[in-house]
């Protein structure tokens, strides 16, 4: 199968790591992927390590992502971080709508849309996360839930902005559980997401990267990447070790 979209792998470090630990991990990842061609790689450290890691990775093959952002540029929003501030510290990407934020912090579809649009306006590429819970899958609501999340997240985006978006399909039941979707389950949802985007613009849909996330490892990335609509991975646990993340990138990029 000839790939039409450049594979993309992003490590989501979640709430882990001091500045020194993040620098060490980032450096090892950079060194490990330096010879891998035709792939985009990013890491998403905690806010506190973003600046140091971005400086360390400057001009190299690994970009930096933030794990969240706010939708306003400035003002009385205690604790929030604006997309422009993320650009200022060296970020290229920002993850928005991660299921942990949706579930633990009550983040709603409307907020995910505001965050994604604000990120685009600031020049960041949003990685928009969507995915169903186990209860939703078991009751046959997977595609309906994903449709609602995708449509809401992409609402009111101009085509030029839409073309810069990355979507990550992350079934909630597969995140951090060691249980990942079968390639067929992932492909069904990825294909469906692309069809929703195609309803807005066929051209954008054809080139949009749709990542899979949920217990992805070096050992299972190849079968997922073999699916037509799986363009890469958003990786949690397996990105906390440089050895496993680099191996995953190498395996995934070689399919």
By the rule CB under 6 A, 213 interacts with ligand PEP: yes
CA distances from residue 223 to 64, 210, 220, 248 in whole angstroms, order as listed: 27, 15, 6, 12
Residues 6 or more apart whose CB falls under 8 angstroms from that of 47 comprise: 66, 67, 81
Looking up tokens 């994903």 gives: 146
CB of 173 to ligand PEP, least distance (A): 10
* For ligand PEP, the closer CB: 74 or 179: 179
Binding mask 167-186 for ligand PEP (x = CB under 6 A): ---x----xx----------
CB of 165 to ligand PEP, least distance (A): 17
Distance CA 67, CA 96 (A): 7
* For ligand PEP, the closer CB: 16 or 163: 16
Residues between 221 and 240 that touch ligand PEP (CB under 6 A): 234-238
Instruction: Using the rule CB under 6 A, give the single segment among 105-113, 141-149, 190-198, 209-217 that binds ligand PEP.
Output: 209-217
By the rule CB under 6 A, 215 interacts with ligand PEP: yes
Distance CA 20, CA 23 (A): 5
Q: Which residues are catalytic?
A: 98, 170
Looking up tokens 């906390």 gives: 240
CB of 27 to ligand PEP, least distance (A): 22
* For ligand PEP, the closer CB: 26 or 235: 235
Q: No. of H helices and E strands in the chain?
A: 12, 8
Residues between 3 and 32 that touch ligand PEP (CB under 6 A): 12
Specify whether the CB–CB gap between 25 and 247 falls below 8 A: no
CB of 75 to ligand PEP, least distance (A): 29
The residues that bridge with 212 in the sheet, in sequence order, are 169, 233
Q: How does strand 8-12 pair with strand 62-66?
A: unpaired
Distance CA 128, CA 170 (A): 10
By the rule CB under 6 A, 111 interacts with ligand PEP: no
* For ligand PEP, the closer CB: 111 or 216: 216
* For ligand PEP, the closer CB: 176 or 203: 176
CB of 215 to ligand PEP, least distance (A): 4
Q: Of 83, 214, 232, 252, which lies in the binding site for ligand PEP, with binding defined by CB under 6 A?
A: 214
Q: How far apart are the first and last CA of the chain?
A: 9
CA distances from residue 206 to 70, 95, 127, 146, 224 in whole angstroms, order as listed: 29, 21, 17, 19, 18
Chain residues in the site for ligand PEP (CB under 6 A) = 12, 170, 175-176, 213-216, 234-238
């Amino acid at each position: 199968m000839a790939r039409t979209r450049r594979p993309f792998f992003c490590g989501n470090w979640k709430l882990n790591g001091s500045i020194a630990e993040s620098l060490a991990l980032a450096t090892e990842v950079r060194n490990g992927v330096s010879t891998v061609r035709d792939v985009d790689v990013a890491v998403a450290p905690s806010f506190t390590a973003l600046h140091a890691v971005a400086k360390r990775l400057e001009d190299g093959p690994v970009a930096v992502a933030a794990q969240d952002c706010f939708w306003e540029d400035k003002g009385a929003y205690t604790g929030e971080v604006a997309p422009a501030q993320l650009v200022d510290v060296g970020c290229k990407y920002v993850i928005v709508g991660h299921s942990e934020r949706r579930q633990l912090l009550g983040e709603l579809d409307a907020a995910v849309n505001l965050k994604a649009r604000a990120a685009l306006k600031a020049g960041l590429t949003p990685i928009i996360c969507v995915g169903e819970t186990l209860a939703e899958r078991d009751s046959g609501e997977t595609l309906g839930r994903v449709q609602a999340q995708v449509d809401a997240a992409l609402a009111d985006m101009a085509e030029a902005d839409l073309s810069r978006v990355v979507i990550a399909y992350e079934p909630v039941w597969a995140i951090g559980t060691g249980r990942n979707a079968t390639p067929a389950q992932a492909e069904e949802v990825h294909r469906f997401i692309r069809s929703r985007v195609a309803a807005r613009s066929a051209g954008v849909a054809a080139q949009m990267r749709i990542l899979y996330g949920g217990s992805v490892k070096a050992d299972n990335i190849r079968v997922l990447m073999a699916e037509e609509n799986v363009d890469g991975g958003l990786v949690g646990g397996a990105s906390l070790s440089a050895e496993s993340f680099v191996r995953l990138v190498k395996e995934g990029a070689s399919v």
